[in-house]
Structure 1
Amino acid sequence: MSDANKSGACMANSGDMGVTNDAGEVFTGDGTHTHDGLIVTDGAILPCSLGANPFATITALAERSLDLYAQRKQLTINTKENKLLDLFGSPEHPKYRRKSCAEECHMRVEEREEEEEIYHAHKSITSARRLKDGGFGFTEVMSGYIHRLHNDSSKLNDHIDDYELAARTAKSMCETARFFLSVQAFNTRSVVNDPKHSANLTGTFSCPTLEGSPFMVRRGNFNLFLVDTKAPGTRNLTYDFDMFGTNERRLHFHGYKVVDSSVALSPAQFWRSTSTLYVHITERPKGIQGKGGEDEEYCPKGKVIAQGIMRIQPQDFLSEILTLSPTGSSIFNKMKSVANFMTFFTRKSMSLFLAPLTPLQYPSPAYTGFVNHTPHTKSYKIKARDGVVTSLHMWKPTNTSVEAKNLFMVPGASVDHQIFALPTIRMNAVNYFRRAGYRVFIPVHRIGVLMVAQDNWTTFDARLDLLACLEFIRKRYPYAEPVQDDDEEREPEPIYTITHCMGSVAFAAGLLDGTIPAKWIKGVTCSQVFMNPIWNYMNMIKVLALPIPADRLYRFFAGNWFSCSTGENDSYVQKALNELLRFMPDERKEICNNATCHRISLVFARCWNHRNLNEATHRQIDRFFGGVNMTLLHLLMKQGSEGHVISNGPLYERLDTPENVRKLRGIPFLLFVGGDNAVLSPESTERTYEVLTDAFGTRKDDGIEYRRRVVPDYGHLDCWMGRNAWKDVYPFVLHEVDRVVRGPKYKFKPPNDEFKVLMDSGELLAQ
C-alpha cells in the first residue's frame, strides 16, 4: 500500500510557523496577516498524513475554505447544477459581471483568436497524422538585456543601432531578460516547402522590469530563414508571439535574427548573426488581432514599451542541439524528417555563407512588389533646339489647400522619372512633393532611358533638353494654373529645380555656359554633385590605374553601348563579363548575386547601400536603368578625374570658370551627398560649396544662401530610391524648397491622406 503526504505540510497559526492559516489563506509575513484572495485549497496544507487518494477530505477542505471566504466577503454562491463539462466551450453558468460594450467586444475578439489558434494547431496535427508525415522539435534558451522605454512615443526605431543602444542601456541598469521556448513543427515537409517556413512556439519569457513578468507564451510563430522584403539578399529567423503576464497583461513579442551577405565566407559573423536576436515588445491594442494574415508583413501595432537584444550562449546552443528530436509514426519517418530539416537548414545557410558563388540572379519577366503605381497626369514630347525629341512627365499636386507651385526634378544618366516615382516603395519622392502642393515635372533626357541614348550624346548635350523643358513649363504653366492660350505673354515665375548626379552636371553645364538663363531658376537642390564631379576611389582606380581606359577596352570587345540590364541569353562576351563581376571588390555586407546590380556597379560604382533598398526594388533594378554610350562614359571619366564640368570633345573646355560661376549669383543652393557614396566623393559637393561661398558669401538678406548636408548611412541613388528615404531625405529637401519658394516663415502641415495613415500606423517602416 502507498500513501501520500506522510508528514503533512504548511498550515499554522502564524507566518513564522507555516505558510497558510486554517482557511488556506497565505500569510504575508511572520505574523497573522494574509494576502487577500490568495487561498491554497490542496490537501497538502494539512499538518498530518491523509493517506492515499483522499478525495473527500481534499474536497471538504476546499469547500470550507471557499465558504469562509464567501462569508467574510458577503458573497452568494450560485448552487445551480452544471451539465456535462465542456472543456473547450463556455461555462454553463458564466460569472455575472456587468461589462461595457467595449469589454464584451474585446472579449469576443480574444475568444475568436483563441479558437482560431487552437483550430490551426489542431489542423496541423491532424494533417500530419493523416499524411503520416514526420516533424521535429527543439528547445531554445536565450538571454540578454531589454530596456523598458519610458517615453510616450509609439513609433519603433527599427535600426540595429537603436537595438544596440537599448541593450547597452538595459545592461547598465541590470534589465535582464530570458526566454525558454519550445519549437515544434508537426510537419517537416510543410515547413520546408512553405515560404513562411513556420513552426509553433510555446514557453515562458521573463523580464523583471516589465510588470506581469514572468509571461506565458502559447502558440506563437517561429519562422526559419524567412525572406526579408526590407533588404535584398537577407533572411530572417523571426519569433512572434503574444505573451500573458501573471497580472493578465497581454504583450506582443517580436524578435528577429538577421542573416545577410555580411556572413559570406565568415564563420564568426555567421555565428554572430544566427545567435543575436533583436527584440521589441509592444502593448497589444484592444480589438486588433495580433498576427495578421498569412501574406501580411509584420507591422508593429500598439505602443512600443521595450527594446533590446538577446543572445544564445554556446552552452545553451549545445543544449539546443541535444534537444532536437524528430516525431513520426515510424523510425523511417523520423529519420526522413531529420534529413529533410537538416538539408533545408544547410541549403539556406550555405546560400548565404557562399553568396559570391551562388547562381546569378537575372531579370525576371514578372512584375512583383509594385505597391505604389504613380502614373503621371500628363506627358509631353519636347523638341530641343538640335531636333532631338525627349519626354516630359507632369504630376498635379494632390494637396489643394495650398497654392500650387512648379517643381522641376532632373534624373541622372541611364535612369528616368522612376527614380523619383518609384513603384516599389509605399511613398516615393513624387508622392511626397505632390502632397506638399507642388506640380512636379520630370524630364527623360537624351542620356536617360530612351532609345536616343544609344547615340553619342553627353551631359553637355542634355542641357538642351533641360532648356526645352523649362521653356515649355514657363509657357504652359507660368503660375498656379496652366495657361490655355499659348500666345499669352506674361513673365512666368522662376522654377525651383532638384537635380541628381549627372542630371546635376548637365544642369550645371547649361547654367554656367548661359544656355539656361539663371533668372529662370528660383533655387537648386543638388543631389550628390553639381559643377565639381570627383569620382570616389573605386572609380578613380578604373580611370587612372588601368593600362587601357575602361571605355576603350569595352568598345573594342563589345561595341559602343553598355546596357545595365542583361539576360541568360546574352552574348558570350556579356556572360563572361557577368561572371567576372561576381568578384568585383566591395564590402562583404554589400555582396549580392544580382547581375544587373553588378553591371551598374561596374560602370558607375555601387549606387546604394543594399540595406536601404527593399527586396522588390533590388530584384527589379533592371526596370529602372538603361545604359550608357562610350562617348558619354569617356566624358564622365574625364570630368570625374579632373573635378570640373566640361564641354564635349575635342576641346573639353572647362565650364566652371570664375566668370561663369558669377552667373549663379542670387540662386540659393542646397548641396547634399550620401555619407557612404561609392560613386562620387563627398568632396564634390564640398568643393562646390567652397566655390559658391568664396564668390558670393554665405548670406543674403539675413538668410543662409548656401547649404551643404551629408546624409549618414546612405549611398548614392538610395537617397531617392531607399525604402526609408521618405523620413531620412525627403523632409529636409522639402524644407529647403518651401523656404525658398514659399518663404522662411512657411511651415508645411501634412494633409490627412492615405500617406499620413501609413506614417502614423508604422506601415511605411514595414515596407
Structure 2
Amino acid sequence: MTTRLSRDIATLEPRYDVVVVGSGYGAAIAACRLARAGQSVCVLERGREFDRFPTTLGAAKDELSFTLTTREASARLGNPNGLYDFRVNDDVNVFQGNGLGGTSLINANVALRPTPEVFEGDAWPDALVEDGGEGLERGFQRAEAMLQPTPYPAGAPELKKLSALERSAEALGAGHCFYRPPINVAFEDRVNAAGVTQVACNLCGDCVTGCNTGSKGTLTQNYLPDAVRHGAEIFTEASVRHVERQGDGWVVHFDALCAGRELFGDQELFVRAGRVVLGAGALGSTEILLRSAARGLSLSPRLGARFTGNGDVLAFAYNADERIDGVGAGDDEPDPEHPVGPCITGIIDLRDREGVAHDMVIEEGSLPGLARDFLGGALAVAAKLDGEDTDSGFMDSIGERLRQWGIGGKALDHTQTFLVMSHDDGAGRLELDGDHVRVHWEDYADQPIFEEVDRTLYQASVPLGATYVRNPGSTEMLGERLVTVHPLGGCPMGADASRGVVDHAGRVFRGDGAEGAVHEGLYVLDGSIIPRPLGVNPLLTISALAERACEIMAQDAGWDASQIVRGVDATTPVGAAGPRPVGVEFTETMRGWIDLDPEAEAGPAAAARGKDVDAAFEFTLTVGVDDIRAFSRDPLATATMFGTALAPVLSDGPMTVHDGRFRLFVPDDDRVRRRRMEYSMNLETIEGESLRFTGWKEVRDDAGIDVVADTTTLFFHVDDAAGARRGAGQLVIEPLDFARQLRTMKATGASSKLEGLGALARFGGLFAGSLLDVYAPFFAGDSANTVTRKDPSALGTSANLTVDVPPRERRAIAAPVPEVHPLVTADGVELRLLRYRAGDRRPLLLLHGLGVSSRIFTIDTIEQNLVEALCAAGHDVWLLENRTSIEVPAAHERFSGDEIADHDYPAAIAHLRRVTDFDQIDVVGHCFGGTTLFMALLSGMTGVHSVVTSQTAAHVVAPLMTRLKSGLHLPGVLDLMGVDSLTAYAGEHPTWRASLFSKLLRLQPLEAEEWCSSSVCHRIAFLYGPLYEHDRLNRATHEALREMFGVANIDAFAHLARMVRAGHLVGANGSERYLPHLDRLDLPITFIHGSENACFEPATTRRTHDALVERFGPDRYSYHLIDGYGHIDCIFGAHASRDVYPAILAHLDRFSPA
C-alpha cells in the first residue's frame, strides 16, 4: 500500500519557520533535519508525487517535458510539469527528474565519494575543511547511514552486463579497477533506516524511468518520509518564482501548477518563512536567484558561474557478439532467465591515475524497457551513420545483420550502455533567458577530456565485439551537444561574494555588504553549490554537504543538534496511507467591485458604489474535492479552496488565500427550493494583514429560469481579523472566464482517463441534480417527485426494488414442499436456506450466480428444472440464498466475493453438517456461485466432498468485450458516478431515465441471432455479457427473465473485473490469496461449460481442469463442453434436462451413490 507524503496545497499555512524549495537530495535532507530540530517546515516541490511510474512508451510520452532555450528559439514542449525534464541548450543539454524526490526518482542511485584530491585547490572555500574535514566526514557518514548503499550482492543472479563491463576493464588493463559500487537499492525485504518497508529489487532494470517496486532508495523512501514523520508539510505542483526579504523574514513567491490556473494569467501565491532553503537543483535554484536578483535582491556577481556537467558522457557498445541484457522489462514481467539488475551495478574506477584532470569512472547502465523499440531503431541508425565496428569479418557481419533483423536475438539485447563521469573545465555559465535559465558554454564538446573518454570507450567495446556508438547527440550532424544528467554549479560556494554565491555552509552572500556578509536565513543546499566537477556520481557529496550545513545551521540557531540524528520512531505515522482517492478540481475567476463602507450590504448596490470609485475586486480560486464519493454522499461536505485575490483598495499586491472552504448547494433553512453555494477563506496580504472573506451564490426558483445568473453571481463581504466589516460587494463570472473555467475541470487521483471521466460525471450529476431540485417545476412532464425519487428501473440503484412483474399462470414444480432455514453468518448477515428433501442421500447444496437467486434452479417455465431433476434422483437438495441473492436484503449492500467465500459458505456448510449428520456435502455452483466456491475452498474451507461447477473455476478467461470493460475499470467508473449497484430489472412502467437507458442499450453490438426487443435482455447483456443463446430458451423463460434477474452491487462487479484483468482468482484488493493453494482442490470435480459462453470462455474451466489433472491425475476430474449452449442456459435452457443435467447426475451417482 502506498503512502502519500504530500498535502493539498489548500492546507498551506501563511508562515513557517523554514520553507524548503525542491525535494532533491539537499532539499530533502534540509526538510528532514530541520523538522527533527523542531522547526515548522514547508516543502514546495515543482513536480508531482508519483504513485506509479510509466512502463509503456505511451505513458512516458505524457511525462516528457522539453524546455528549449537556444539562440534560435525559446519554447516549452510536451507536459510542462512532466517527470522527464529535458533542457535543450546551444552547447550542452540537461536531463533531470521533476517530481517529489527530484532526480532520485530516475537516477541509478550510485553512492560514491569523490577522491580527496577533488577537495584540494582554490575552488572550495578553506572553511570547508578547516576542521580537518571532520564536519564533512560526519556528513558523509550520516548520509550513508540514511541511504544505506550496498553493492550488488555476490550471491545474486549473474548479470551479463556486469560481466561484460569486467571484460572491458581487463581489456583496458584495469581489471584491478573494476568493482561493484555501493548503490541505494534494497536486495532483501527490509525496514530501512527511515522506518519505511522496502521489498527486494526484482532486477527489472527500469531504474531510470522510475522504480515501481519501492526497492530503489529514492528520497521518497528515506529522507522525505522521515521529514513528514517529524512534522514537515510537503506541497507538490508549487513552482517557486522568486524570494524577497521582508522585515526579519522572507517571502517565497510561487505558482500553483494545477487546475489550469495558467489560463487566468499571472497568479502568484506567497508564503512567509523565517528561513528559506533553496534545493531546486543546479538549474532551479540558480534560476530562482536570478529572478530574485532581477527584482532587487542583492547577490554575488558569481551567480550562474562555474556550471559543470560533471564530465558526463553517454555511449554504447552496440550489437555485441554476446548477450548483454541491458534493457529493462518495461511493461513485461522481469525475465528470470535474463535478469537485467539495477541500472548500474559495476564500475571501472580510473581515478588516481595522472591527476584529477584525467580521472574518469565508467559504469554500465540499463536502457528503459518502455523505449525498447524506439531505442533499437535509433541506435541502429546511429551505428550506421557514426559507429565504429571494433571487429570485422564476413561471419561477424552476418551475425550482426541477423541480430538487427531480430533473428537469433536482438541487437539491443546485445548492447552495453556506458555511463562516464570525468572532469570538464567547469566553465559553463547559467543565464536568465526570458523566464528560464539557459546554459552558455561555447566549445563544451571540444574539451580534451571528451576525446580521452572517447578513446577509452572504444577500447572498452573491443572485447565485446561491438560497434562503438558515441552519444548520438554529440555528433556533428546533431550540433555536437553532449548531455549531462549531473548538472552542478551555478551557485558555487566560495570564501566571499567575489568568489562564490554561498559560503561553505550554503549561506547566501549579499552582493552589497561587507566581505563575507550573508543574507540571514537564506540558504542554498543542492548540486548548484558544488564549484567544480566531482568525476563521480554526485548524490553522496551533495548529501554530505547538506548534512554538514544543517548541523551548522542548528548550532548557529541554538537548536538541539542531538535531535537531528536521533533514531527513528517507526510507529509514528508517515503521510496518508493508501492511494489518493479520486477527486475533482477546477479553477474559477470572478470579478466585480467592493464598497468599503462598513455598513454596506452585499449585492448589486454595493458593487455599483464600488465601481464608481474604481474599487475593483477579483479572485482566482482553485476548488478541490479530494474524494468525490464522500463529497457526493454528504450534503454538508466541504471542498477546499486556494488561490489569490486582487483588491488594490485593500492591498498593494495579490492576497494569498488560506483556509478556503467551498460548499455546493447547501439547503436554505427558510426556503425549500433555494440552495446556496458558500465560499469562505482567509486573505493574507503582502503587508501582513489577515482578512476574512465570506461569499455565497443563491440558486432560487424565481419566476423563470435564471440558472446562469444564479450560479455565476456571488455576494460577499470582507472582515478584518477582529471581525469588523471592511467592505461588501458582488462578483460575477464573465463569459470568457467561464469558458476558461470549463477547460480547467479535471479529475485528480484517477487511475485511468475513464475513471477520471466518471469522477467528473459524478460531480456534474451532483451539480445538475441540485439544480433540478430547484427548477423542477419549470420542466413540463416531470413533477418534483419524479425528479427526486429513486427509480428502481434505472441502471444503478441502492434502493430496494418493488418489482411490478405482470401476473402469469404458474405450474407446481415436481418436488417436495421446501423447508425454510434462516441463516446468520459470522459477520451478521441474514441469509436463507431452502431444503427440498426428496431422499436421504448425501446433502447437495446449490449455489446461484450474481444478480439472481436460487429461482434459476426452480423456474417453472421449462419442462423439468434442475431441482426437479435432482429430486427425481432422490437427492436431499439445499438452495442457499447467499448475500448476492436478489431475494435477501443483503443484496443491496456493498461486498465482494471475499465476504461470500469467507462467511456465507462456511456458515451454510456448518448448518447442513449439523442438521443432516453428514460430515461432508456435495456442491453444485453456477457462475459467481462457482467462483466464490473455489475461493472458499482455496481459502481452506472444509466439509465439501465433491463439486460440480458450471462455467467458472479458479482461472478466468473472458471474451474481448468483457476484457475491455474490465481493462477500462468500468465498475470503478460507475462507482465514481454514484452507482452503488446495478440492476437488470426494467419495470412495466419505467421513468424517462430508465426508458432512455433501455433504448441506448439496444445499440450494443450483438450477433444478429442474439438480438431481441427485451429491455431486461439488453440490460443483462450490458452487465454480464450475453448469458445465453436465445435459441436455447423458450418464450416463457425469456419473458420470465425479469423474475430471475435483479440488483447486484458494484463492489462485486469490481472484484470480477479485477479477476478478469488478472486471469485468475484474486482477492478484492488484488492479493494472491487463492491460486497458490491449488493443492486444496484435491477432491472430485466435474466442470461444465457452454461452448458458446460469451461471458467466460471455455478456457476458464479448462485451465483449472488441466492444472488439477496435471497435479493429481485424471481419475476424479471430468470436463463437459456443452455444444451450442452459452452460460446460464446450461441451467434453465429449454432442453437442459436432456443436454446438461445428465452430466451433473452422473457425477453425483459416481461419487455419492445412493
TM-score bracket, normalised by the shorter chain, equals 0.3 to 0.5
Question: What TM-score results when the alignment is normalised by the length of structure 2?
Answer: 0.30
Question: What TM-score results when the alignment is normalised by the length of structure 1?
Answer: 0.44
